[in-house]
Structure 1
């Protein structure tokens, strides 16, 4: 029996040596019989060179026999790197440039991936523009997707970084497969000399590989990252496993999930093996015994499937020693097994608690606690949701539940266990800058209690990505209502005036009625949601800031949306409450005219809605640019009153603009006058409607109504001249 035991150990050892010699050569990542490199670039399957070596035509690689450079069949793109682990391929993308100052608009076509399994990586790429006074836009089918403005200032002769001066960056929309580049002058300053550039670039390469980012200006191409994990999500791997979340994985591999990818599933070789999991039997065992320190001195390393073991191998031992050793090992293993089973639940519970604590700190939990301690207890009312509850509510963040994509995250529709419909905001990327904005949004929204501000229901910090839970607003955005009107349900002038009054009341509340004044800093029609009764709800407080009562402004890097941005803030980097007034003025002009704040398809004079609107008033041509339905339904005098209010909001001198409280009172008074006129014959039905930041007009009891409205609105001479000189 002892002899058999020793022979067994020797057999295991010999088998390990045999496997060691067989596994010294790394397995090929290409399909059998196919080339696995082109130049110094590895070409793993599902990519391939030659017929029958790739999964489908989109993954075909052509290897140039002269330059030994690989090119992807999709778009004939030069391949720089392929990653099986991340499900990405890095390729060269052109740099679009314009060095002709006389050309107002330059367009260029980037890569076209339509009809292929590839899309531009949202996590890895950034759209970048360089040059003076350069407005660069990503467009698709005539619609503007993303864009930014790079400017030049007199005091910024030294170029450094990409912070908006001579260089700006913005994120890439999800699932993007094609886009065009448009460059034009932004018209923000007179310094327009030099060339202008726009390109999509791999941000890691841009930051890590370039000591000087402006060196890109001398390059024809820069690297971009394409995702193909979307395709793998619906592709059955060579063999499937019943475990691992029902994903299709190689039996010798395991299913990996990368949280930075929208479609996170893919195959990877399991522990102790290496190779290509997308090939049948593509994962091969790694011989750990080749490492010199695999086992302690005096022990023998035995290579096993998906691992290795160490054992004594001394044939000179006596039979009694061998038997004792075998019994001792058996008893020891049994004891370890029993203790492991007993401690399993305790260890699992501690691990789960530690993981939640890690995510809590990582997601800014300590910062939120600090906010809670300084907010008079208002943040404590915010509910803390658990991860499983939100996963169930959103059907595990199903793609079909996506309501929209914001600057810092994706919003999903969900239903809680109590039947409430909610909106769950999930950040795309976890970094310190976005964590601070996330905690800032929690702290600010928790302090706000206003019917025209979207209500924060709670947050979740125990997941890898922080989550916010809002009330669900069902009727989309004010932008959609204005610019995508249907003939069946057009927006009336009365509704436009009501929505403007509600938004003004909400912003006035933030400025002057909240416990601590709050500057929104990104007021625009896309951040105004509409509920089932078309009541306005101000949303997206990601870059909002609380302001101490003794301070009049914030000095910050310029943030906001082009077209709504206060020019005074843009020049001085000082954001005041009047900067929100300017942005609201743009929204008011949108409601009056039905036009977009910025449009590259309009003429040079009409490109900026603010400039076009103010010049039309100056030339007494106001009614030429107003929306036809507004002109038809609104009274001439009240339209001119609203237009004058918008004009005062857009004054380039912030000190001459009205406060949001004054704006709200003017609009509320106009609505009261409008309602009084509509029911003059039934005065008993008139009801005084108050917002939380405005009061009814003292002169509302006047029998005519409009005389007192003129007094309280303080009509300027410009308005009176407009009433008399509308001749266009």
Structure 2
């Protein structure tokens, strides 16, 4: 009987060691996918929460690493890595909403009444090597000018798409305050699945000499924050002044697979907090979210907390 028990133990020992090794490997992998101690969590005005990070091994992967560097005025600003067209400045990132905002790249074309020359600058963004997508529900393509045509070319996972519109020639009488209705201002919607975009600008004619507007603009911007003003057409510099307060909204996903597939690989699955869940995002990947009644960061261990506990941890301002 003793020899039989020993024989069973001898058979089970390698299996137990394999399970233990696998468990240890999973724990080590899980720890590797958590932020290391001492990572920078703020750059200028932008709060950076995991899975994003600043510096080596501070983000979930190199695709989630952001840059923190000084701008021309010596202020620290946050930028997206991997963009090959322009440095894209980040104005905010939300882990709970799965979105980020970046400063607007603007395409423009201006006429010089003195010598008759035309100057221009075309812009865009390339997010292919990043976890970001251009939000089709939160952004809109805007063209401002006199008899001006502009278009935006977008590329996604499978194919390209082009949209554009014509901002018709206007007079002071034809302009409608706060209305982007086609006279001096027009707009176009954009599709889902866009990882990059480029904006081009052209004119239907070059008769600027009799026009109030000597410049035309094309910009992708957050639809809920854009308000058209007739001063953009009549007052030089008015649009440039306001555009600094606008942003492009980006969605982001933690992985490219659906939840069902992601959950099978415990060593890379991102929703590691208790009381967190996985949410498919339009076939583009998945995100993590805290369950109803919980808030916090689902991408870190014990990141989702009961909402009332989170509220208790917030200092209550003293009454005057």
Give the TM-score band, short-chain normalised: 0.5 to 0.7
2:255 corresponds to which residue? 232
2:295 corresponds to which residue? 274
1:218 partner SS: helix
State the shift of 1:72 in Å.
1.8
State the shift of 1:213 in Å.
8.4
Q: Write out aligned runs for 1:20-169 (5 A).
A: 32-64=37-69, 66-75=74-83, 76-100=87-111, 108-139=122-153, 145-154=162-171, 155-157=173-175, 159-169=177-187
2:216 corresponds to which residue? 196
State the shift of 1:182 in Å.
1.9
**1: CA distance between counterparts of 2:311 and 2:132?**
39
Q: Using CA pairs below 8 Å that are at least 6 residues apart, which structure has the higher relative contact order? A: 2
**1: CA distance between counterparts of 2:111 and 2:275?**
55
1:204 partner SS: helix
State the shift of 1:31 in Å.
5.3
State the shift of 1:145 in Å.
0.4
Query: Which residue of 196, 204, 212 corresponds with 1:178?
Result: 196
**1: CA distance between counterparts of 2:56 and 2:258?**
20
Structure-2-length-normalised TM-score: 0.65
Return closer, same or farther for 1:139/1:236 CA change in 2, 3 Å cut-off. Answer: closer
State the shift of 1:48 in Å.
0.5
State the shift of 1:45 in Å.
1.0
Tell me the alpha carbon deviations over residues 475-532 of structure 1, each in whole angstroms, 9 at most, x when there is no partner: xxxxxxxxxxxxxxxxxxxxxxxxxxxxxxxxxxxxxxxxxxxxxxxxxxxxxxxxxx
Tell me the alpha carbon deviations over residues 156-209 of structure 1, each in whole angstroms, 9 at most, x when there is no partner: 2454321111111101132222232222223599965521111111112224xx
2:104 partner SS: strand
Instruction: Could you tell me which runs of 5 or more consecutive residues in structure 2 were left unpaired when the two chains were aligned.
Output: 1-33, 233-237, 313-320
1:181 partner SS: strand
State the shift of 1:77 in Å.
1.5
Query: Which residue of 277, 291, 301 corresponds with 1:255?
Result: 277
**1: CA distance between counterparts of 2:251 and 2:77?**
21
**2: CA distance between counterparts of 1:147 and 1:34?**
43
Correspondence 1:216 to 2:234: no
2:288 partner SS: strand
State the shift of 1:89 in Å.
1.3
* Residues 236 and 248 in structure 1, CA contact (< 8 A), matched pair in contact too: no
Tell me the alpha carbon deviations over residues 607-633 of structure 1, each in whole angstroms, 9 at most, x when there is no partner: xxxxxxxxxxxxxxxxxxxxxxxxxxx
State the shift of 1:248 in Å.
6.6
1:636 corresponds to which residue? none
* Residues 241 and 251 in structure 1, CA contact (< 8 A), matched pair in contact too: no
1:160 partner SS: coil
2:76 partner SS: coil
State the shift of 1:148 in Å.
0.5
**2: CA distance between counterparts of 1:183 and 1:103?**
16
State the shift of 1:258 in Å.
8.4
2:239 partner SS: helix
Return closer, same or farther for 1:219/1:112 CA change in 2, 3 Å cut-off. Answer: farther
Greater Cα radius of gyration, structure 1 or 2: 1
**1: CA distance between counterparts of 2:137 and 2:63?**
22
**1: CA distance between counterparts of 2:249 and 2:128?**
16
How many residue pairs match? The answer is 253
* Root mean square deviation of aligned Cα: 3.8
Going by fraction, where is helix more abundant, 1 or 2?
A: 1
Return closer, same or farther for 1:213/1:139 CA change in 2, 3 Å cut-off. Answer: farther
Return closer, same or farther for 1:45/1:97 CA change in 2, 3 Å cut-off. Answer: same
**1: CA distance between counterparts of 2:229 and 2:174?**
19
Structure-1-length-normalised TM-score: 0.31
Going by fraction, where is strand more abundant, 1 or 2?
A: 2
Tell me the alpha carbon deviations over residues 435-490 of structure 1, each in whole angstroms, 9 at most, x when there is no partner: xxxxxxxxxxxxxxxxxxxxxxxxxxxxxxxxxxxxxxxxxxxxxxxxxxxxxxxx
Return closer, same or farther for 1:220/1:203 CA change in 2, 3 Å cut-off. Answer: closer
